[in-house]
Amino acid sequence: MPYRERAAWLALCAMGLPFTGYFVWVIAAPPTAAMPDWSTFTRFGVAIALQIAIWSLGTLWLRRRHPEDAAAPLDERDLAISRRSIQTGYSILFAVTCINIGCVFPFAQGGWKLINVGLASIVLAELVRNSAVIWLYRRGFHG
């Protein structure tokens, strides 16, 4: 498995696990307190801290296990897959943001709902980008 694919799996787990927990909580018990709501902010902070911890420790572990692959510069295939995955992730981010701002929240809603929808858009785009990296490495990509 290429190193970049391993890194994408790690990023997927680092973002997916903490934020799944965060959004399950947001959906099950939507924040209703007036802003600033420090309990909601704390939960978000925990999710971010977990993401950073998982990603940092995982990256260190990967670099120790595969030092040569980690040090190798990106080759043409890595760059092509990176470009295509960023394109895919950005398209998702753009589409979801436009739908939310243009249709779901037509300048009439705000607060935690808007913030969490925005966060969800970013998380979804990143999950799609890393999934695209994994898919392209596994199934093949002809540029």
Partner 1 sequence: MTQADLGARVGVTRQTIAAIESGKYAPTLETAMRIAEAFGKRVDEVFFWQVAP
Least distance to partner 1, CB of residue 67, Å:
14
Q: Rounded distance, CA 82 to CA 109, Å?
A: 36
Least distance to partner 1, CB of residue 138, Å:
8
Asked whether position 83 contacts partner 1 by CB under 8 A, the answer is no
Asked whether position 48 contacts partner 1 by CB under 8 A, the answer is no
Query: Residue 88 carries which side chain, given as an amino acid letter?
Result: T
122-141 residues near partner 1, rule: CB under 8 A:
139-141
* Residue 50 C-beta-side C-alpha neighbours within 13 Å: 17
CA distance to 31, 62, 63, 74, 111, per residue, from 3 (Å): 40, 8, 9, 10, 40
Asked whether position 64 contacts partner 1 by CB under 8 A, the answer is no
Residues that bind partner 1 (CB under 8 A): 1-2, 69, 72, 75-78, 139-143
